[in-house]
Chain A
Amino acid sequence: MLYRESGQFVTSYRADQRVFRLWQERWGLALLLAVAFVMVPFIANDYWFSAILIPFLVLSLAGLGLNLLTGYAGQLSLGSAAFMAVGAFAAYNFHLRIEGMPFLLSFVFGGLAAAGVGVIFGLPSLRIKGFYLLVSTLAAQFFVQWVLTNFSWFSNNSSSGVITAPQLIIAGHDFSTPLGRYLLTLGIVAALTVLALSIVRSALGRNWMAVRDMDTAAAVIGISIARTKLVAFAVSSFFLGIAGSLWAFTYLGTVEPHGFDLTRSFQILFIIIIGGLGSVLGNFLGAAFIVLLPILLSNISNNLLAGAIDPGQLENIQKIIFGALIIFFLIKEPDGLARIWQSLKRRARVWPLRF
Chain B
Amino acid sequence: MSVRKKLIIIGAVVVAAVIASVAIGASLPQATDYQAYSPLVGKVAPSIEGKSLVSGANVSLSKFRGEYVVVNFFASWCTPCEQEAPYLEEFYYQESRAAIATLIGVEFEDVNSTAANFLRQTGATYPAISDPGEKIAIRYGVTGPPATFIISPTGRVVAHINGPVTNTGLEKVINRLRRERMS
**Is the A/B pair a real complex?**
no
